[in-house]
Amino acid sequence: MRTLRLILGDQLNAGHSWFTNQNEDVLYLMAEMRQETDYARHHIQKVMAFFQSMRTFAAKLEEAGHRVRYYRISDSDNPQDLIRILQNSLKEAGASRLEYQLPDEVRLDQQLKQFASETDVEVAAVDSEHFYTSRYELTEFFKGKKQLVMESFYRMMRKKHAILMQGGQPEGGQWNFDKQNRKKWKGNPAIPDPLVFNKDLSSLEEEIRGSGAEFMGNVDATAFPWPTSREESLEVLDYFCDFLLPHFGDYQDAMHDEESFLFHSRLSFSLNSKMISPKEVVDRVEKVFREGEGQVHISQAEGFIRQILGWREYMRGIYWREMPGYAEKNSLQNHNALPEFYWTGKTKMKCLKSSIDQSLSKAYAHHIQRLMVTGNFALLIQAHPDEVDAWYLGVYIDAIEWVEITNTRGMSQFADGGLLATKPYISSANYIGKMSNYCGKCPYDPKKRTGESACPFNSLYWNFLDAKREHLSGNPRMGMMYRLLDKINPEEMQKVRLRAQEIIERPDDF
């Protein structure tokens, strides 16, 4: 009996048990397709990174003696649609069985289930053998609980997988060193250049652009920077452990207009495409911490491991617990459009300009830029979560719905009404000024609330609290902010509202 095994673009896990033995009766199927380039308007670097990584993966499988049917985006016989590709390939191979790894997106999960229910061939789904947790482990863990607190999930994960533990207690005597991880970067310690690969992928870019799909952002295809193989992904991990991890935690929340990556790992694409596994990243960081003769402090190692063992697995669990309904959530009833400058970077606001320019040129911004600059502004102008999701799903190299929508709609836009975050992540210029050098280079005054030169974030912040009073004033974590709001005199508040209204109506003028 011949078997066709489907490998999706984000299932590049060379360590999967499928590949342990070669089998003449198994044909692996991989396909670049318009279905996947077109479900959002993606950054060109994102599509290039996925397709190049898929090609490298397919070539490695063939080298190892496996049989592979690969559809390139430019192949004239490519139907560009998953179901038709499956139908054609099953027929071509004379296969009577289809196997697939469980997809991480509801969209693909539903499509494959539907196909399985209609086809004559036998269909079986297997685990992708990537995550620490199964799809519904978080659902089980929080059964009967109203609030899904990440910290309790994270502690369970630390104990269950014996990570950074010492005699049943957390290493270093506490679970979380977050409070130590809030330093502003002022030029010291020096940041090593990011490890980039400078591959010439010009012909791939041409092929992709020739497909007719629409993209955002830009690329220098003669010097493509991202890892597109397991070997390169491991190099990025080595580089991170050798040069960046010693300061990761300290500057995790810092922002700087000349340093896009600071001490961040740039591992998200390698992880989300499954070229490397979360376990090997976490184990490696723990080993460096334990064997590194004090070079890596517990606060750095814990800060990093929390992102992967905690946040990443937590977001995956929330996704499967809440979808598909989560994609409809808009608890704050926001309906405005996202400004045009999210696609062009044309704004005078330095924090937004820096974060967006960098997103468009590098397909990357780190967590705090996503959360406290672009996400914060989108929420303050009360943009519709659909608009915000579409942008985040397109622009970043690592954007796959399971981890994009939970971070965007949930954490950043509070559209789930507080299921995931206990209060909205909003701020005035104060936080941005504290964590970055942006305000010093901005034409707007971070100290002013109203008037021509006032920082737009300031009036927007107070206006937002005022406008969303019915949704937020009962939240105990917002009590102090509402008390401060109520101290603003009515005349000043009227000016705040007018200024905010102006910005909301014409954001591209600011």
- Please select the residue that binds ligand FAD; options are 366, 384, 449, 468, rule is CB under 6 A: 366
φ/ψ (deg, to 5) at 259: -130, 100
How does DSSP classify residue 172? G
Distance CA(465)–CA(471), nearest Å, equals 9
- Please select the residue that binds ligand SF4; options are 262, 455, 478, 485, rule is CB under 6 A: 455
- Provide the 3-class DSSP secondary structure of residue 26: strand
- Does position 105 interact with ligand FAD (CB under 6 A)? The reply is no
* Count of residues of this chain found to bind ligand SF4 when the rule CB under 6 A is applied: 14
- Please select the residue that binds ligand FAD; options are 53, 101, 133, 272, rule is CB under 6 A: 272
- Does position 53 interact with ligand FAD (CB under 6 A)? The reply is no
- Does position 255 interact with ligand SF4 (CB under 6 A)? The reply is no
Smallest distance, ligand SF4 to C-beta of residue 429, A: 4
Q: How many CA atoms lie within 13 A of 133 on its CB side?
A: 28
* Count of residues of this chain found to bind ligand FAD when the rule CB under 6 A is applied: 27
- Please select the residue that binds ligand FAD; options are 265, 436, 458, 463, rule is CB under 6 A: 265
Using CB under 6 A, which residues numbered 371 to 410 contact ligand FAD?
Answer: 371, 375, 392, 396, 398-399, 403-404, 407-408
- Does position 356 interact with ligand SF4 (CB under 6 A)? The reply is no
User: Cis omega before residue 189 (within 30°)?
Assistant: yes
How does DSSP classify residue 339? P
Span near ligand FAD by CB under 6 A; candidates 6-14, 94-102, 349-357, 367-375:
367-375
Q: Which residues contact 200 (CB under 8 A, 6 or more apart)?
A: 221, 222, 223, 224
User: Which of residues 367 and 469 has its CB atom nearest to ligand FAD in the complex?
Assistant: 367
Q: Which helix (H) or strand (E) holds 126?
A: strand 122-126
- Please select the residue that binds ligand FAD; options are 264, 274, 297, 350, rule is CB under 6 A: 264
- Please select the residue that binds ligand FAD; options are 311, 326, 438, 462, rule is CB under 6 A: 311
Pick what 442 binds: ligand SF4, ligand FAD, none; C-beta below 5 to 8 Å, kind-dependent: ligand SF4
- Does position 350 interact with ligand SF4 (CB under 6 A)? The reply is yes
Q: How many CA atoms lie within 13 A of 156 on its CB side?
A: 16
- Does position 412 interact with ligand FAD (CB under 6 A)? The reply is yes
Cβ atoms of residues 222 and 252 within 8 Å: no
Q: How many CA atoms lie within 13 A of 214 on its CB side?
A: 4
- Does position 249 interact with ligand FAD (CB under 6 A)? The reply is no
- Angle among Cα 26, 280, 369 to the nearest 5 degrees reads 110
- Does position 19 interact with ligand SF4 (CB under 6 A)? The reply is no
Residue pointed to by tokens 């799809």: 135
Cβ atoms of residues 496 and 488 within 8 Å: yes
- Please select the residue that binds ligand SF4; options are 71, 392, 457, 464, rule is CB under 6 A: 457
User: Which of residues 296 and 442 has its CB atom nearest to ligand SF4 in the complex?
Assistant: 442
- Does position 439 interact with ligand SF4 (CB under 6 A)? The reply is yes
Cβ atoms of residues 310 and 153 within 8 Å: yes
Smallest distance, ligand FAD to C-beta of residue 266, A: 5
User: Which of residues 310 and 433 has its CB atom nearest to ligand SF4 in the complex?
Assistant: 433
Cβ atoms of residues 354 and 257 within 8 Å: yes
Distance CA(21)–CA(105), nearest Å, equals 28
Residues that bind ligand SF4 (CB under 6 A): 349-351, 429, 432-433, 438-439, 442, 444, 446, 455-457
